[in-house]
A and B are shown apart, each in its own frame.
Chain A
């Protein structure tokens, strides 16, 4: 009997950056599809427009920094960043809003910090936070999901293109745009949670669309987990923290706080859980570190959503935890093989 003798590592194929990024793009398909079904052509147009810009800015910056163009453009990372920005913006956002966002993400948040792998902050979230602070009106004008609008008035592809790239706001804009469920629940005056649910069309009927979009992002996330592109630690820690906190507050006072399911399925929860907080560059490195990182984001998101002024807290929560990631890494260093104790909290052993 002959055994093939091979020493470790038994890896048969290197997992290149380009490969990982392609898988992430693939995993975004269900979510993008769901958004297109419920919110119209806007999402697709935004993704194409953002990707073109991102590749352009990336090429310009690589040239300025005298880096090999083909190698870095081929790794798809700019496209993933662009797509993440595109799906976080309102589908009918004007073209310049997306442009500013992509410029900030690629030029400032990525290349000025040293390019792929060197950025301390998640570029897509830097762009989102900057846009939300600078252009609050445009950033909160989501169009209502199609289930709320009778079939006849659904915007055609050309109408949507005109809305995004035209200089004049189309007539259908007003009847078409509205608050997101998170917004609706926040700006409710003195109503209790239950009354808001009964009165608001976005909540009563439109919530189905948001559920479906969230489920689609979850599907993509499970695909990424299955292909081992991401680990479960950060997403599960974030979702568990958010669920736990919202159940506690909902159980304590259901009139004033939203239920856990609402927190799980509205806003950017599912998109962020699997596509944003799992960014390998700007999050914590070790598995235990990722648990802390995810839990911190869950906590911050709950605080910002419940008591803050902004419609959704993911961009700010992710950026704050990005700042904390090196510190988390320092205190969650795993024990390395051959050592009796972990080298926790003792820097400078590199």
Chain B
């Protein structure tokens, strides 16, 4: 069985992006993306959990009985989240305090559970790791873009407090785009995140429509079958 890594990567980053297409993990996505550094922190943590849980689930995929697979997945994911949480407490304590409850809540991020059940349990280890990495990257990119959008609109500057993640050297990375900016609180508050995410999804759909039109104009090549989307509520 050959594995199409290109398709896995494109699915994770674009066609089946967890945030823009599957709309999974909206709770942390909307709650912590008020700044780039928060978004990066959460994106990094989620990606790490996603890669490790996909790896482990794939390793044990032949041993796990089908009927109790979900509790087992939850336990695997929870162990990794606990490990990441301890790691963040040790390395980036301030950021850990800012992200607060949303770090332990990664356990309930449906994107992670969804990938374990929809992909890792059916695929070999290497493909599962790549899938976890690409899904995590796709999620993180959306987080960071949304965080940047909201930070810029809300405070008129970008990359504030980057030292929380990258150490003291990054303290002055902040770029002030608009000086003498009054601040736009709406962008920082959760409603701003909803509007921002909605606009990003709209933009993705517009790009997809343009691409489709182009493809229609060009002679048809053999099309890959549409990816199977698994939706886990919550």
Contacts and interface: CB of A to CB of B under 8 A. Distances in A.
A134 B184 contact: yes
Interface string B162-186: 0000000000000000000011111
A-B pairs with lowest CB-CB distance, top 7: A134-B185, A134-B186, A130-B186, A134-B184, A133-B185, A133-B186, A108-B195
A215 B44 CA distance: 60
B195 to A, nearest CB: 7
10 contacts: A112-B198, A130-B186, A133-B185, A133-B186, A133-B189, A134-B183, A134-B184, A134-B185, A135-B184, A135-B185
Most buried by B among A100, A112, A134: A134
Interface in B168-218: 182-186, 189, 195, 198
Interface of A: 100, 108, 112, 130, 133-135, 138
Contacts of B186: 130, 133-134
A134 B185 CA distance: 4
B178 to A, nearest CB: 12
A127 to B, nearest CB: 11
Contacts of B183: 134
Chain B interface residue number, banded:
under 10
Nearest to B195: A108
Nearest to B199: A112
Nearest to A167: B180
Contacts of B195: 108
Nearest to B180: A167
Contacts of B182: 135, 138
A112 B202 CA distance: 10
A336 B27 CA distance: 44
Contacts of A133: 185-186, 189
B217 to A, nearest CB: 20
B94 to A, nearest CB: 27
A112 B195 CA distance: 10
A309 to B, nearest CB: 14
A9 to B, nearest CB: 42
Contacts of A134: 183-186
Contacts of A112: 198
A112 B197 CA distance: 13
A130 B195 CA distance: 12
A100 B189 CA distance: 16
B211 to A, nearest CB: 19
Contacts of B189: 133
Nearest to B191: A130
Contacts of B185: 133-135
A125 B185 CA distance: 17
B77 to A, nearest CB: 36
A130 B182 CA distance: 15
Nearest to B183: A134
A135 B198 CA distance: 23
A100 B198 CA distance: 19
A158 to B, nearest CB: 25
B63 to A, nearest CB: 48
Q: A100, A112, A130, A133 — which one has the most chain B CB atoms within 10 A of its CB?
A: A130
Nearest to A137: B182
A54 to B, nearest CB: 19
Given A100-B184, A134-B186, A135-B182, 5 more contacts: A112-B198, A133-B186, A134-B183, A134-B184, A135-B184
Contacts of A100: 184
Contacts of B184: 100, 134-135
Contacts of B198: 112
Interface string B135-177: 0000000000000000000000000000000000000000000
A64 to B, nearest CB: 10
A63 to B, nearest CB: 15
A85 to B, nearest CB: 16
A134 B195 CA distance: 15
A65 to B, nearest CB: 12
B188 to A, nearest CB: 9
A138 B183 CA distance: 12
B205 to A, nearest CB: 13
Interface string B39-69: 0000000000000000000000000000000
A134 B183 CA distance: 8
Nearest to A94: B182
